[in-house]
A and B are shown apart, each in its own frame.
Chain A
Amino acid sequence: MDWFIYAGDDPGHKLMIMLIAMALFVLVMGLILFIVDRPANAPKWLVTAGFVGPALLMLTVGLLYPGLDTIRKSLFNRNGTEFLGLDNYVRAFTEPQFLLVLGTTALWVLVAPAAATFLGLVYAVVVDKSRFEKFAKALVFLPMAISMVGASIIWKFVYEYKPNTGAVEQTGLLNQVLVWLGGEPIQFLLQRPLNNFLLMVVLIWIQTGFAMTLLSASIRAIPDDIVEAARLDGLSGLGMFWRITIPSIRPALVVVLTTIAMTTLKSFDIVRTMTAGRYGTSIVANEFYEQSFRQNNAGFGAALAVLLFVIVIPIIIYNVRQMRLAEEVR
């Protein structure tokens, strides 16, 4: 049994465990589906249970139980020995350092999705039906393929600072440009509140491609004859954009905005990689990690996680509603 639990540092050993786990999964699922399929006229509940059961079980074990356990933990102290009631939440909403975190998170949610959506929309409209459309779209979509951590490291290099002593070459692109222009290099990531926006740039850089793709498809889906009718009715240029394009893609716009908002709330990686939440850049997702695993305050970390969850819920509900509406229009 120990062989399965303690793999140590041996990669071959780890791989073996993974393969065995996968084989087990296939075996168990196969067996369940085989048994369910066995009787000639299997009762409906049995088939349903056979197909939905394993998924429900996994969700319960992997999502529901940890979720409930997190809520429970959020009501306890750092190691779960003492019941605190809502103290952890009170702390999150009263202590200045955590109020700052909440404020920064709000800033992220307000700025990043709007900026990414706006840029994606403008790009989609500008590039639409141009000669380089495919290439231009690929260019903007490419960052989507890079992991958040990877993107963060790239941008950390862009913002890199070295004191301007003459002998030292700047490695950071931005500072090098500043030096070329005869300016002094700036410690970008230390300047609050500027550093927050510089961190958001990374997320916007990644998400603009997503927004552009969805919005471009949505613009394409506007029937030609509606655009033509609008031309006959006297619209062109910006008038067409505001009165026909925007209303026609409104559902897609909302879906894009809310989807990016959810990603923003969860974008722990960027902050963690670039500043680790220092210099006033921490957001709830990062602070939750910080408290749980660095400060070993499981109770408070759990409270932050629950908070994050509660903030995301209304966005998800709105998102789903809009998607349903969009389907209705079609």
Chain B
Amino acid sequence: MAEHPVGQGTIALQQCHSRHASVSNDTRHDGSSGTYLPVEGCFIMATVTFDHATRIYPGTERPAVDALNLHIEDGEFLVLVGPSGCGKSTSLRMLAGLEDVNGGHIFIGERDVTDVQPKDRDIAMVFQNYALYPHMSVADNMGFALKIAGTPKAEIRQRVEEAAKILDLTEYLDRKPKALSGGQRQRVAMGRAIVRQPQVFLMDEPLSNLDAKLRVQTRTQIASLQRRLGVTTVYVTHDQTEALTMGDRIAVLNAGILQQVGTPREMYDKPANVFVAGFIGSPAMNIGTFTVTNGSVQVGAATLPIDRTIASNLDSNRVTLGFRPESLDVVDASTAGAFHVEVNLVEELGSDAYVYGSLKDDVATDLHAGSTDQLIVRINPRHVPEKGEIISVAIKPGQQHVFSATSGERLS
């Protein structure tokens, strides 16, 4: 790809009413195919606010989205994440105007858009299956919204070509979507959003139809493109890795209820409840419920003390304890706080290795990590134990998470 001469990147400056007129002008070249190049141009940006937004599907009792309160900053990349059916897509579609809001309000900037038509919300959406119009060329697909809005042809062409350049689609502009690969279609869908220069980008699992390798590649490209454009983006995914790697902040939903909002670091270090603890992190956190006796719990052979203020304020005599596979150290059997794990399986990833094992001398019956009922320990891949071997592990100081056994809320 040739170097871009200065000035070619300008997108219709006369269209700008933005506080934030242009983004980085200097770094502008990347030779590799399919790479999102930086763009200069103007995008009107806005905050997004969900104010007790509720969606109840007709014929159902339980709200799909239950009084969602969420504020997204100007230019922020927020990831909505959760298991399927948690209401994340519904939330996004409410913001898009594709779902009715049965209660509460949604604001874009200062404007209440709760009852505004989708086309008037100044948003652009990237769909999971891309939703490209099969009977239109790539260029027509990308410029369609502008055409409907009555933008002059020359300007449409200019903006489409500009976006195509950013997305490396120039040579495909005259093709029909069916003549494109999955990755190219995904980029056309992105292009369609960019061309509109909206206040907010909405992305509904845009990577889930790509193969694993392309997904990882595109993930970084979208994230860096968003940083360069600086457009407020709401991104829906069920993949917590995507959430952690892409988002400025992450909002975890479950059963229509917002569980926690925070930076990836906060979500990982201080999960607000058992659900978030189990959902964020891969492999999943080891979580078990234990009986508290004399201010401590019995994990296998180990007696682990619980912080005194927590122990004294418990509403039952049980507590839920969580510790990540990477929070465990392999130690001598005699070390204080060590418990023993029988190795069932070792998963080698090259950089790491994970032991899947069962806790010896178990008193708690429900110790599990994610969907497995085994204990997961990250170990040095250079010293991998044999299957059937018994290793002793201890939780690194301060890396245990304590939750209420009744409410699931974080206590520590």
Identify the A interface with B (CB < 8 A).
223, 225-226, 228-236, 239, 244, 247-248, 250, 329
Report 15 cross-chain contacts, Cβ distance below 8 Å, ordered by A residue.
Answer: A223-B131, A225-B127, A225-B128, A226-B134, A228-B127, A229-B131, A229-B133, A231-B98, A232-B123, A233-B144, A234-B119, A236-B119, A239-B148, A248-B134, A329-B178
Within the complex, what minimum Cβ distance (angstroms) separates B153 from chain A? 16
**Which A-chain residue is minimally distant from B145 (CB atoms)?**
A233
**Which B-chain residue is minimally distant from A248 (CB atoms)?**
B135
Q: Which of B123, B124, B144 has the most CB of A within 10 A?
A: B144
Whether B103 sits at the interface, judged by CB under 8 Å, is no
Contacting pair A226 B148 (CB below 8 A)? no
Whether B212 sits at the interface, judged by CB under 8 Å, is no
Given contacts A229-B131, A247-B133, 14 further A-B contacts (CB under 8 A): A225-B129, A226-B134, A228-B131, A229-B133, A230-B133, A231-B97, A232-B97, A232-B118, A233-B119, A234-B148, A234-B149, A235-B148, A250-B135, A329-B134
**Which B-chain residue is minimally distant from A250 (CB atoms)?**
B135
Contacts of A226 in B (CB 8 A): 131-134
Within the complex, what minimum Cβ distance (angstroms) separates B326 from chain A? 39
Whole-angstrom CA separation of A233 from B123 in the bound complex: 9
Q: Given B98, B124, B125, B135, which contacts A247 in the complex, CB threshold below 8 Å?
A: B135
Taking residues whose C-beta sits less than 8 angstroms from the other chain, chain B's interface range is 20 to 34
Contacting pair B125 A232 (CB below 8 A)? yes
Known: A223-B129, A225-B127, A239-B148. A232 touches B119 (CB 8 A): yes
**Which A-chain residue is minimally distant from B123 (CB atoms)?**
A232
Within the complex, what minimum Cβ distance (angstroms) separates A310 from chain B? 33
Whether B96 sits at the interface, judged by CB under 8 Å, is yes
**Which A-chain residue is minimally distant from B198 (CB atoms)?**
A232
**Which A-chain residue is minimally distant from B149 (CB atoms)?**
A234
Contacts of A230 in B (CB 8 A): 133
Identify the B interface with A (CB < 8 A).
96-98, 117-119, 123-125, 127-129, 131-136, 144-145, 148-149, 178, 192
Contacting pair B131 A225 (CB below 8 A)? yes
Whole-angstrom CA separation of A248 from B119 in the bound complex: 21
Interface of A is mostly: helix
Contacts of B136 in A (CB 8 A): 247
Whole-angstrom CA separation of A231 from B98 in the bound complex: 8
Contacts of B124 in A (CB 8 A): 232
Count of A-B contacts with CB under 8 A? 57
**Which A-chain residue is minimally distant from B127 (CB atoms)?**
A225
Within the complex, what minimum Cβ distance (angstroms) separates B397 from chain A? 50
**Which B-chain residue is minimally distant from A239 (CB atoms)?**
B148
Within the complex, what minimum Cβ distance (angstroms) separates A166 from chain B? 59
Contacting pair A234 B145 (CB below 8 A)? yes
Contacts of A244 in B (CB 8 A): 133
Interface of B is mostly: loop
Whole-angstrom CA separation of A104 from B157 in the bound complex: 49
Within the complex, what minimum Cβ distance (angstroms) separates B76 from chain A? 21
Contacting pair A231 B135 (CB below 8 A)? no
Within the complex, what minimum Cβ distance (angstroms) separates A316 from chain B? 25
Contacting pair B134 A229 (CB below 8 A)? no
Contacts of B117 in A (CB 8 A): 236
**Which B-chain residue is minimally distant from A329 (CB atoms)?**
B134
Q: Which of B96, B125, B132 has the most CB of A within 10 A?
A: B125
Contacts of A231 in B (CB 8 A): 97-98, 118-119
Whole-angstrom CA separation of A316 from B62 in the bound complex: 54
Closest 5 CB pairs of A and B: A234-B119, A225-B131, A229-B131, A233-B145, A247-B135
Within the complex, what minimum Cβ distance (angstroms) separates B209 from chain A? 12
Within the complex, what minimum Cβ distance (angstroms) separates B170 from chain A? 22
Within the complex, what minimum Cβ distance (angstroms) separates B201 from chain A? 12
Within the complex, what minimum Cβ distance (angstroms) separates A4 from chain B? 58
Within the complex, what minimum Cβ distance (angstroms) separates B188 from chain A? 12
Whole-angstrom CA separation of A234 from B178 in the bound complex: 24
Whole-angstrom CA separation of A225 from B97 in the bound complex: 13
Contacts of B97 in A (CB 8 A): 231-232
Whole-angstrom CA separation of A250 from B135 in the bound complex: 10
Within the complex, what minimum Cβ distance (angstroms) separates A253 from chain B? 12
Within the complex, what minimum Cβ distance (angstroms) separates B156 from chain A? 13
Whole-angstrom CA separation of A225 from B133 in the bound complex: 10
**Which B-chain residue is minimally distant from A222 (CB atoms)?**
B134
Whole-angstrom CA separation of A146 from B98 in the bound complex: 43
Contacts of B192 in A (CB 8 A): 229
Contacts of B98 in A (CB 8 A): 228, 231-232
Whole-angstrom CA separation of A230 from B117 in the bound complex: 12
Whole-angstrom CA separation of A98 from B15 in the bound complex: 66
Within the complex, what minimum Cβ distance (angstroms) separates B232 from chain A? 16
Contacts of A329 in B (CB 8 A): 134, 178
Whole-angstrom CA separation of A239 from B97 in the bound complex: 19
Contacts of A223 in B (CB 8 A): 129, 131
Contacts of B127 in A (CB 8 A): 225, 228-229
Contacts of A247 in B (CB 8 A): 133, 135-136
Whole-angstrom CA separation of A329 from B144 in the bound complex: 20
Within the complex, what minimum Cβ distance (angstroms) separates A61 from chain B? 44
Contacts of B134 in A (CB 8 A): 226, 248, 329
**Which B-chain residue is minimally distant from A231 (CB atoms)?**
B118
Within the complex, what minimum Cβ distance (angstroms) separates A192 from chain B? 43
Contacting pair B135 A232 (CB below 8 A)? no
Within the complex, what minimum Cβ distance (angstroms) separates A244 from chain B? 7
Contacts of B148 in A (CB 8 A): 233-235, 239
Within the complex, what minimum Cβ distance (angstroms) separates A219 from chain B? 15
Whole-angstrom CA separation of A234 from B118 in the bound complex: 8
Within the complex, what minimum Cβ distance (angstroms) separates B231 from chain A? 16
Q: Given A232, A235, A236, A248, which contacts B96 in the complex, CB threshold below 8 Å?
A: A232
**Which A-chain residue is minimally distant from B119 (CB atoms)?**
A234
Within the complex, what minimum Cβ distance (angstroms) separates A243 from chain B? 8
Within the complex, what minimum Cβ distance (angstroms) separates B210 from chain A? 17
Within the complex, what minimum Cβ distance (angstroms) separates B244 from chain A? 27
Whole-angstrom CA separation of A329 from B149 in the bound complex: 28
Contacts of B118 in A (CB 8 A): 231-232
Contacts of B125 in A (CB 8 A): 228-229, 232
**Which B-chain residue is minimally distant from A224 (CB atoms)?**
B131
Contacts of A225 in B (CB 8 A): 127-129, 131
Q: Which of A226, A232, A234 has the most CB of B within 10 A?
A: A232
